Structure 1
Amino acid sequence: MLDLHRLVLLRELAARGTLAAVAEAMDFSPSTVSQQLSMLEKETGMTLLRKAGRGVQLTPQADVLVEATERLLDIVERTEAELQASLTTVRGRVRVAVFQSAALALMPGALRTMSALSPDVRIEMVQREPEQALRETWTRDFDMVVAEQYPAHASPWLAGLDRRVLTTDAIRLALPPVETALRPVTNLDDVRGTPWVMEPRGTASRHFSEQMCRSAGFEPDVRYETADLQAQIRLVESGNAVGLMPDLVWTGRTTTCRLVDLPGLPRRTIFTAQRAASLASPAVRMFRQTLEQAAEALAAQDATPGDGTGAGAGTRSGAPSQ
């Protein structure tokens, strides 16, 4: 009989690409992983791995086992969810990966609500870049991910993940306050040659920001690069840079930034994703619903004029006041 633990290691290798990555994820040494996979080859009587440069490549027979292992893991996960659903109380653990602005704007309220409604549910949160978190949810490192998608930059679609839109928010040009501005700026066309702050290369927001600038006819002078949006805001507020900011970053705070609508009024989509096999899990389902309620409440608050919080704290017009 095939050993399920060794099948899982083979599946991890297919998902993560290298023995070192499998060893790190499973808390083993690379030699232990290699030994276990060699034993799986003996059990099957087939060659499952071939050397490919410095790494290894799965054979067609290994691919058959990986697909079967995926189905087995889905069955186990569905069974666990059904067992939890048979209880009279909601309990368990939910591991969720979120990106920074969602962690700041949505998670505090959702966590308070979950604590009040279901104190037996343990929520564990880790901050991750959305594309990485999507893949890690697919590989079962997390139960759920809160991710983002920018216009014209689709997030990866991974088989077996169930997506649901949480909310959308506008993306605007953030300018320094008048008294600290490096130069007079009224719209996107005026910031050619102005220092920019953006997220690192390879991120969806960086791709979107660069494309907006190029569509306006210039290459942005990116002098500052950080994934920390709070650091980006401080650089803009202090007059050292301009940047493109989604409205969610202004939740719960005021700002001296001047906010200008972009051509086409682009919006970012924020969504949750979880494995379809876990849809019956009461704890995961409840937390997803709690996040949706938090997003609805936030949207209603943002739609209320003069509340003194959110993006309304800055100037939100095509031509900011001077």
Structure 2
Amino acid sequence: MLDTQKLVTFATVVRTGSFAAAARELGYTQPGVSQQMKALERDLRATLFSRAGRGLKLSEEGEALAGRVGGLIADLRAAEERVAAVSRLKQGRVRVCAFPSANATLVPAAMSRLRSRHVNIEIELFEAEPPESLEGLERGDYDVVVAFRYDDQPPAPEVGELVTIPLLDEPMVLMMSDEHPLARRKQVELAELDTARWIAGCVRCRQEFVNACADAGFAPRIDITTDDNLAVQSYVVAGLGLAVMPRMTQSFVKHPKLRAKPLLPERRRHVTATILRSQPKTGAVERVIESLLHAARELNSAYI
């Protein structure tokens, strides 16, 4: 059985070119690195290094391992994470990762309901945007991921490891100051705003906005970009531009002088919960999904 730490040490020796350099980087002693490499050679029943003057040279076996060691380390760590996840879930501990606006609205409501009904379930909360959050799910970092996609992004096919549960479809809204000339309008056509200045949000929201403008026949003039939803609203209220944001962002923080208008043609963000197909079917995960679905229904009702 290959040991992950020995493989990490081997990869560091290969990259740095010597036992001494690897020891300095890893915080080991040089004899400690040498002992690990001898142990790895015993495990593999192969000689991995030969001396080349004062340096090291990889043997043919060492070259073969060096070409695969990165993938081996990743696979072993993923396996370790998956095993740890199974153990964690059996104990009623669930790791939930969500994007920022969901962590400010949907997830707190779901977790409050979960705690009031299932006191033996412990939740660890994390924050990340897709696709990073979904990559973490596949690595075993998380057990449930709350993610999203936009209209122009096709749903993930129900194949492979990821299983997606729809939670909420929310429209994109146009945000403006209450002093803006269009503030009294009930709804606004995006094509009318081809000369406007814009405030743009997170990377994926910004790309969705640019795509929407392209469909409307213009390229937007984006003056300010920020991942901070409160900052977006503050810039808009200050009269520095308009913004197109998912409706969820105004439900957890809304500036008193902000106006949000339906945008035509309508575009939507689709919020989902994702789990792994191979994940153990534990009651804890099922209860988390149930609570997220309930919170999504409640949030959707509040919009109507």
Q: Same fold (TM over 0.5)?
A: yes
Corresponding residue for residue 103 of structure 1: 103
Partner SS for 1:294:
helix
Report deviation, 1:302.
2.2
Percent of matched pairs sharing the same residue: 22
What corresponds to 1:191 in structure 2? 193
CA distance in 2 between counterparts of 1:37 and 1:155 reads 47
Segments ≥4 residues shifted beyond 6 Å: 155-158, 182-185
- Cα–Cα, structure 1 residues 62 and 136, in superposed 2: closer, same or farther, change >3 Å? closer
Runs of 5+ in structure 2 lacking a partner? 16-23, 49-57, 59-64
Other-structure match for 2:142: 142
- Equivalent pair of 1:180/1:238 in contact (CA under 8 Å): no
1:130 is paired with a residue whose SS is: coil
Report what 1:161 is aligned to. Answer: 162
TM-score by length of 1: 0.67
Letter in 2 for 1:196: W
Whether contact under 8 Å (1:153, 1:208) holds in the other structure is: no
Q: Is the 8 A contact 2:96 2:125 kept in 1?
A: yes
- What is the deviation of 1:242? 0.8
Confirm or deny: 8 A CA contact 2:172 2:262 kept in the other structure. no
**Does the 8 A contact of 2:105 with 2:252 survive in 1?**
yes
- Quick one: distance in 1 between partners of 2:109 and 2:88? 28
Shift of the alpha carbon at 1:249?
1.8
Give the superposition deviation at 1:39.
Answer: 6.8
| TM alignment of 1:266-305, pairs within 5 A | 266-303=267-304
1:260 is matched by which residue type in structure 2?
P
Q: Residues 182, 248 of structure 1: CA spacing in aligned structure 2 closer, same or farther, 3 A cutoff?
A: closer
Cα deviation code 1:213-247 (max 9, x no counterpart): 12222211111101112221222233221111212
**2-side partners of 1:260 and 1:247: how far apart?**
9
Match of 1:313 in 2: none
C-alpha change, 1:124 and 1:65, in structure 2 (3 Å) is closer
- Deviation sequence 1:163-213 (CA, Å, 0-9, x none): 211111111222332x2459999432232232111125xx22111101111
CA distance in 2, matches of 1:37, 1:156: 43
Could you say if the C-alpha distance between residues 301 and 182 of structure 1 is closer, same or farther in structure 2, counting changes exceeding 3 Å?
closer
* 1:232-243 superposed matches below 5 A: 232-243=232-243
Alignment CA distance shift 1:242-1:76 (3 Å):
closer
Evaluate the alpha carbon distance shift between residue 267 and residue 63 of structure 1 in structure 2; reply closer, same or farther with a 3 A threshold. same
Is the 8 Å Cα contact of residues 174 and 262 (structure 2) preserved in structure 1? yes
The alignment of Structure 1 onto Structure 2 pairs a total of residues equal to 266
**Larger of the two Rg values belongs to structure:** 2
Alignment check: 8 A CA contact 1:192 1:218 kept = yes
Correspondences of 1:1-322 after superposition (within 5 Å): 1-3=1-3, 31=26, 42=41, 43-44=43-44, 45=46, 59=67, 74=82, 77-78=85-86, 81=89, 84=90, 92-153=92-153, 159-177=160-178, 179-181=179-181, 186-200=188-202, 203-251=203-251, 256-263=258-265, 265-303=266-304
**Cα displacement string for residues 282-310 of structure 1 (whole angstroms, at most 9, x for unaligned residues):** 3222112111111112222322xxxxxxx
Contact between 2:138 and 2:276, CA under 8 Å: does it hold in 1?
yes
The question of whether the paired residues in 1 share the 8 Å contact of 2:78 and 2:140 is answered with no
Q: Secondary structure at the match of 1:149?
A: strand
* Residue identity matched to 1:172: V
CA apart distance, 1:4: 6.2
Tell me the amino acid that sits aligned with residue 251 of structure 1.
S
Contact 2:94 2:122 in 1 (8 A): yes
Closer/same/farther in 2, CA of residues 181 and 232 from structure 1, 3 Å limit: farther
* Cα separation, 2, equivalents of 1:3 and 1:64: 10
Measure, in 1, the Cα distance between the counterparts of 2:47 and 2:281: 37
- The TM-score normalised by the length of structure 2 is 0.71
Q: Is the 8 A contact 1:78 1:280 kept in 2?
A: no
After superposition, the CA RMSD in angstroms is 3.9
